[in-house]
């Protein structure tokens, strides 16, 4: 009641503002989603708050540096430690990427490290039957028993010359990863190190790579931009540099307009000028229509793109242009792109596809391009982690080329240079068994005709994470007998998770390295408890934002709470010791080459190994004798105390004309993609059209090499499955790992439209009426491949014809809070049990968005 009174009061205040809330809504209606220009507002000086980042808290403790990997922002942090207890978290002011800013989900890390449901000790299953409904009947075992059992199983493979039947599954990682992921797998002798990257956001990198030659996530210079156009990105909630964007967004809005393209009204949409609730999967149509408008209106950025020789614009709807009439500067193939794809992609054409008015499409495109070159087209996962998403990734990213914001002030930037170094090589430690084993094909089928996975231009260059389940189930190309997974939970995090239940149950000997007994653990034989990455581990990561790149270290700021070891360093070292005891010394011999750069000493134990490996990897950052650029330290101790190294500032416009593409230019006609596709076709003795047909793309001929529109590939017929499912990430998600925190559950309503202690599927009231659904109803969502249960909520922030639900809930294991009943029933529903396993095959990415139809049933 009082909340209502406060609401009414705030509305009263708004109503007395210069433009009232009601007239705003009226105006929005009149224009079909309005924009409000604000010309000439001076940028106000930033008022300074007396933040006490440097001040000491009074009680007896100290702030110690480390790194948060709750999401892939990878912020540098400081943890306040009192009497050996971690009690608070804040941003590390030494970082030029995130500074003191620290997002809300960082606090939840305290409830993770001190989660009572963390494993205290290794355990093994005593029920030999594996399955979703089989209680593993875990019992504690010693580290010796656990590691000796794992070593015995690996030795069996080696003795039988079948080391290729060993597999390593990597989830979230620090850059210590290669110790366990690469070196250990190679020296044992297997090709099967499978990372999670393709269930992350590889398709996001596809567009930038095949236009500007950078297989990387971008950073966005929002403090110097005048327009921010976001494609499914929700940086105020999730990925990447959430802390930084939270700190900069409010002031960026003084200068910039922002528009959010998303079928769901996101947190970032709530802080933006305009919402474009596109029909799921139709982002590509919107992108090419915007490109069409920018060209026909003559708004491309001529100092970057060039111009017609005589200055007269020949881009008219439907008309062809003679390439000889246009002279490009730092781009390549603009006229080809126009002639092949853009000329008939009018806003009116896109209106029918996208469900957005031609007027809004034209207006936003013009406003965006008018801000050139300080205009950002920000490509998030939503439009691209879809079947056929690679081309939407190219199309949306190509807008940055049109407005010259690539590598430019107020634009879209790559990562700055950093100087970490690789671990010692493994070649000398691979014996004949290992070499033979390694020569086998990988379990995820990358590089096969139907999985080009053209990472960095190479056929089979990337991973097809989710297809590994099918590889295991079908024993294709071979069976997997022994597998280890670390900091992963593919039985929860990969679409059509039930396939993973089957695949994991099939593996005769499965090991899981984890903090909590998760869904993956449920199918495992041995579970090894790991340190928490933020408080108990040595490691480092690289991240970029705010015009800088930082290398920030995971440091043990407290003693491990229980008898646990670190996944990427200590556990492989300890396992190497057990293998050596069994006569196979190669892995331990290799690890002995990770010497302390300061003393030259080889590691005497697992703790020294972890430390020396980190000092080795970061050597050029902290040793003044090896100084390259960026922050300079007097030595390891000073670097460790700072916790983070910062790069030199961003070198703007240095890549104009020198991009790592086939032409050196920003490619609107991608010679780079042409070479990659032709390479893949040649490998399979066919042509590019056949590859595209096999991989479910619509493009044929020259269309394959330009950013273009592809119709969404959808699972489920509309008459049976009337709603398109819209997945998104909660702003409190620490990937899939925070649902066991009470703070997560209590505050799930921080996501617009969501509810505390619940998992709500949000329906537009129009659809709800159609299906007889009311807020609070317990419902089932049914797709072509799965069913989940959750709660219904009516909300105007979802597009009619869609149903939106956050990822994060639906754990049936993990802990007492995350699951309704551990091992049995879930709190809410896991979106991945609903989503079919399908792929954007050019990038290998799993599809998460815009491709799954569902129906709703009341429970």
How many CB atoms within 10 Å of residue 144? 11
85 part of the interface to other proteins, by CB under 8 A: yes
- Residue (517 or 541) nearer to other proteins, CB: 517
CA distances from 490 to 195, 197, 210 (A): 10, 12, 29
Residue in the block written with tokens 């659809």: 767
Instruction: Tell me whether residue 583 is exposed, middle or buried, using C-beta atoms within 10 angstroms of its C-beta: 0 to 12, 13 to 18, 19 or more.
Output: exposed
44 part of the interface to other proteins, by CB under 8 A: yes
Tell me the CA end-to-end span of the chain in Å, nearest whole number: 31
Give min distance, CB of 747 to other proteins, in A. 5
Tokens of 594: 């990770």
Which range binds other proteins by CB under 8 A, 32-40, 293-301, 542-550, 620-628? 32-40
142 part of the interface to other proteins, by CB under 8 A: no
48 part of the interface to other proteins, by CB under 8 A: yes
Tokens of 211: 């236009």
249 part of the interface to other proteins, by CB under 8 A: yes
The answer to whether residues 807 and 385 touch, using CB atoms and an 8 Å cutoff, is: no
The answer to whether residues 570 and 184 touch, using CB atoms and an 8 Å cutoff, is: no
Q: What stretches of 485-527 show up as alpha helix (H) in DSSP?
A: 490-493, 498-506
Give min distance, CB of 599 to other proteins, in A. 34
Selected binder of other proteins within 822, 839, 849, 851 (CB under 8 A): 822
- Residue (427 or 746) nearer to other proteins, CB: 746
Give min distance, CB of 387 to other proteins, in A. 26
Q: Which of residues 317-376 bind other proteins (CB under 8 A)?
A: none
Angle at 343 (CA atoms; ends 338, 348), nearest 5 degrees: 140
Give min distance, CB of 241 to other proteins, in A. 11
Indicate the helix (H) or strand (E) that contains 295: helix 283-296
Selected binder of other proteins within 14, 62, 475, 718 (CB under 8 A): 14
Q: Which of residues 713-752 bind other proteins (CB under 8 A)?
A: 731-732, 742-743, 746-747, 749-750, 752
54 part of the interface to other proteins, by CB under 8 A: no
Tokens of 75: 């912020």
Indicate left, alpha or beta for 453 from its phi (over 0: left) and psi (-120 to 50: alpha). left
Give min distance, CB of 254 to other proteins, in A. 4
Give min distance, CB of 169 to other proteins, in A. 22
Which range binds other proteins by CB under 8 A, 257-265, 384-392, 492-500, 720-728? 257-265
Selected binder of other proteins within 128, 133, 139, 432 (CB under 8 A): 139
- Residue (517 or 614) nearer to other proteins, CB: 517
Per-residue x/- track, 647-676, other proteins (CB under 8 A): ------------------------------
257 part of the interface to other proteins, by CB under 8 A: yes
776 part of the interface to other proteins, by CB under 8 A: no
Selected binder of other proteins within 15, 29, 159, 700 (CB under 8 A): 29
The Cα 833–Cα 264 span in angstroms is: 21
- Residue (52 or 318) nearer to other proteins, CB: 52
- Residue (207 or 753) nearer to other proteins, CB: 753
Selected binder of other proteins within 67, 95, 219, 247 (CB under 8 A): 247
Q: Which of residues 570-629 bind other proteins (CB under 8 A)?
A: none
DSSP state of 721: S
309 part of the interface to other proteins, by CB under 8 A: no
User: Which residues, at least 6 apart from 26, have a Cβ–Cβ distance to it below 8 Å?
Assistant: none
Give min distance, CB of 352 to other proteins, in A. 17
User: Which residues, at least 6 apart from 4, have a Cβ–Cβ distance to it below 8 Å?
Assistant: none
Selected binder of other proteins within 641, 796, 820, 825 (CB under 8 A): 796
The Cα 539–Cα 67 span in angstroms is: 9
Which range binds other proteins by CB under 8 A, 212-220, 261-269, 361-369, 779-787? 261-269
Give min distance, CB of 323 to other proteins, in A. 40
Question: Residue by residue, what is the 3-state secondary structure of 129-174?
Answer: CCCCCCCCCEEECCHHHHHHHHHHHHHHHHHCCCHHHEEEEECCCC
- Residue (186 or 731) nearer to other proteins, CB: 731
How many CB atoms within 10 Å of residue 756? 11
- Residue (131 or 801) nearer to other proteins, CB: 801
The answer to whether residues 611 and 538 touch, using CB atoms and an 8 Å cutoff, is: yes
Which range binds other proteins by CB under 8 A, 41-49, 361-369, 382-390, 844-852? 41-49
Selected binder of other proteins within 626, 700, 816, 824 (CB under 8 A): 816
Indicate left, alpha or beta for 525 from its phi (over 0: left) and psi (-120 to 50: alpha). alpha
- Residue (144 or 682) nearer to other proteins, CB: 144
801 part of the interface to other proteins, by CB under 8 A: no
Give min distance, CB of 363 to other proteins, in A. 14
The Cα 792–Cα 807 span in angstroms is: 15
Indicate the helix (H) or strand (E) that contains 285: helix 283-296
Count the residues of the shown chain that bind other proteins, applying the rule CB under 8 A: 113
Q: Which of residues 412-471 bind other proteins (CB under 8 A)?
A: none
Which range binds other proteins by CB under 8 A, 116-124, 318-326, 831-839, 846-854? 116-124
38 part of the interface to other proteins, by CB under 8 A: yes
114 part of the interface to other proteins, by CB under 8 A: yes
51 part of the interface to other proteins, by CB under 8 A: yes
Tokens of 435: 């070499």
How many CB atoms within 10 Å of residue 400? 31
Which range binds other proteins by CB under 8 A, 138-146, 657-665, 706-714, 780-788? 138-146
797 part of the interface to other proteins, by CB under 8 A: yes
- Residue (336 or 799) nearer to other proteins, CB: 799
Tell me if the bond preceding 240 is cis, omega within 30° of 0. Answer: yes
The answer to whether residues 463 and 844 touch, using CB atoms and an 8 Å cutoff, is: yes
Handedness of CA 245, 246, 248, 251 (dihedral sign): positive
Four-point Cα dihedral 159, 164, 166, 169, nearest 10: 160
- Residue (699 or 747) nearer to other proteins, CB: 747
The answer to whether residues 849 and 385 touch, using CB atoms and an 8 Å cutoff, is: yes
Per-residue x/- track, 87-106, other proteins (CB under 8 A): xx-xx---------xxxx--
Tell me if the bond preceding 62 is cis, omega within 30° of 0. Answer: no
Coil, strand, or helix at residue 725? strand
- Residue (98 or 192) nearer to other proteins, CB: 98
Q: Which of residues 484-513 bind other proteins (CB under 8 A)?
A: none
Report the relative pairing of strands 76-82 and 85-91 from DSSP bridges.
antiparallel
Selected binder of other proteins within 111, 592, 775, 787 (CB under 8 A): 111
Residue 773 CA from chain centroid, whole number: 33
The Cα 251–Cα 270 span in angstroms is: 15
Selected binder of other proteins within 63, 74, 138, 301 (CB under 8 A): 138
251 part of the interface to other proteins, by CB under 8 A: yes
The Cα 379–Cα 117 span in angstroms is: 37
Selected binder of other proteins within 62, 159, 250, 508 (CB under 8 A): 250
């Amino acid at each position: 009641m009082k909340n209502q009174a406060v609401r009414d009061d705030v509305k009263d205040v708004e109503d007395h503002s210069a433009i009232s809330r009601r007239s705003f809504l009226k105006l929005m209606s009149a224009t079909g989603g309005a924009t409000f220009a604000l010309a000439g507002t001076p940028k106000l000086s930033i008022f300074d708050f007396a933040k006490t980042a440097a001040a000491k808290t009074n009680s007896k403790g100290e702030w110690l540096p480390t790194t948060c990997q709750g999401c892939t922002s990878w912020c540098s942090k400081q943890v306040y430690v009192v009497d050996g207890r971690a009690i608070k978290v804040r941003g590390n002011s030494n970082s030029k990427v995130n500074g003191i800013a620290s997002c809300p989900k960082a606090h939840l890390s305290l409830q993770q490290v001190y989660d009572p449901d963390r494993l205290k000790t290794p355990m093994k299953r005593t029920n030999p039957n594996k399955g979703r409904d089989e209680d593993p009947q875990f019992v504690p075992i010693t580290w010796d028993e656990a590691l000796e059992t794992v070593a015995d199983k690996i030795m069996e493979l080696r003795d039988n010359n079948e080391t290729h039947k060993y597999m390593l599954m990597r989830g979230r990682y620090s850059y210590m990863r290669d110790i366990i992921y690469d070196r250990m797998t190679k020296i044992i002798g297997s090709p099967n190190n499978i990372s999670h990257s393709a269930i992350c956001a590889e398709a996001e990198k596809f567009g930038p790579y095949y236009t500007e030659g950078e297989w990387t996530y971008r950073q966005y210079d929002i403090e110097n931009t005048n327009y921010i156009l976001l494609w499914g990105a929700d940086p105020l909630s999730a990925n990447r540099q959430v802390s930084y964007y939270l700190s900069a967004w409010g002031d960026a809005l003084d200068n910039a307009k922002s528009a959010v393209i998303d079928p769901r009204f996101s947190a970032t949409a709530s802080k933006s000028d305009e919402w474009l609730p596109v029909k799921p999967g139709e982002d590509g149509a919107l992108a090419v229509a915007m490109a069409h408008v920018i060209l026909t209106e003559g708004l491309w950025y001529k100092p970057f793109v060039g111009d017609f020789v005589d200055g007269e614009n020949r881009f008219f709807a439907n008309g062809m242009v003679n390439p000889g009439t246009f002279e490009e500067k730092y781009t390549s193939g603009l006229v080809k792109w126009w002639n092949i794809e853009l000329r008939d992609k009018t806003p009116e054409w896109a209106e029918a596809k996208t469900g957005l008015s031609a007027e809004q499409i034209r207006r936003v495109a013009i406003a965006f391009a008018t801000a050139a070159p300080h205009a950002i087209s920000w490509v998030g996962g939503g439009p691209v982690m879809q079947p056929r998403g690679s081309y939407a990734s190219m199309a949306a990213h190509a807008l940055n080329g049109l407005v010259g914001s690539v590598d430019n002030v107020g634009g879209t930037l790559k990562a700055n240079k950093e100087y970490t170094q690789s671990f010692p090589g493994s070649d000398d430690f691979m014996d004949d068994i290992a070499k033979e084993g390694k020569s086998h094909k990988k379990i995820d089928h990358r590089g096969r005709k139907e999985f080009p996975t053209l990472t960095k231009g190479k056929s089979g260059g990337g991973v097809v994470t989710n297809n590994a389940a099918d590889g295991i189930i079908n024993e294709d190309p071979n069976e997997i007998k022994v597998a280890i997974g670390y900091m992963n939970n593919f039985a929860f995090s990969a679409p059509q998770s039930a396939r993973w239940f089957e695949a994991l149950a099939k593996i005769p000997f499965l090991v899981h390295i984890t903090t909590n007994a998760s869904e993956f653990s449920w199918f495992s034989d041995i579970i090894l408890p790991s340190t928490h990455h933020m408080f108990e581990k040595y490691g480092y990561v690289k991240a970029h934002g705010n015009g800088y790149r930082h290398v920030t270290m995971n440091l043990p700021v407290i003693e491990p709470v229980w008898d646990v070891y670190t996944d990427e360093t200590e556990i492989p070292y300890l396992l190497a010791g057990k293998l050596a005891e069994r006569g196979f010394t190669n892995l331990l011999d290799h690890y002995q080459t990770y010497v302390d750069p300061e003393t030259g000493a080889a590691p005497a134990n697992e703790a020294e190994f972890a430390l020396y490996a980190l000092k080795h990897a970061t050597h050029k950052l902290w040793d003044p004798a090896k100084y390259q650029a960026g922050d300079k330290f007097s030595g390891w101790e000073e670097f460790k105390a700072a916790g983070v190294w910062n790069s030199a500032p961003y070198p703007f416009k240095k890549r104009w004309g020198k991009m790592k593409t086939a032409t050196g230019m920003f490619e609107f006609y991608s010679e780079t993609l042409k070479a990659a596709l032709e390479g893949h076709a040649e490998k399979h003795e066919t042509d590019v059209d056949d590859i595209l047909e096999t991989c479910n793309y619509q493009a044929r001929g020259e269309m394959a090499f330009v950013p273009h529109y592809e119709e969404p590939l959808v699972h489920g017929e509309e008459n049976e499955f009337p709603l398109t499912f819209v997945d998104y990430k909660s702003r409190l998600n620490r990937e899939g790992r925070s649902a066991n925190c009470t703070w997560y559950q209590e505050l799930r309503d921080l996501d617009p439209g969501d509810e505390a202690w619940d998992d709500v599927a949000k329906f537009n009231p129009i659809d709800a009426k159609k299906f007889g659904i009311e807020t609070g109803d317990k419902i089932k969502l049914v797709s072509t491949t799965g069913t989940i249960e959750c709660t219904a909520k009516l909300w105007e922030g979802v597009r009619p014809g869609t149903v939106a639900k956050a990822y994060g809930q639906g754990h049936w294991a993990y802990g007492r809070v995350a699951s309704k009943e551990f091992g049995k029933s879930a709190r809410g529903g896991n979106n991945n049990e609903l989503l079919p396993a399908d792929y954007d095959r050019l990038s290998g990415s799993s599809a998460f968005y815009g491709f799954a139809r569902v129906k709703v049933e009341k429970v």
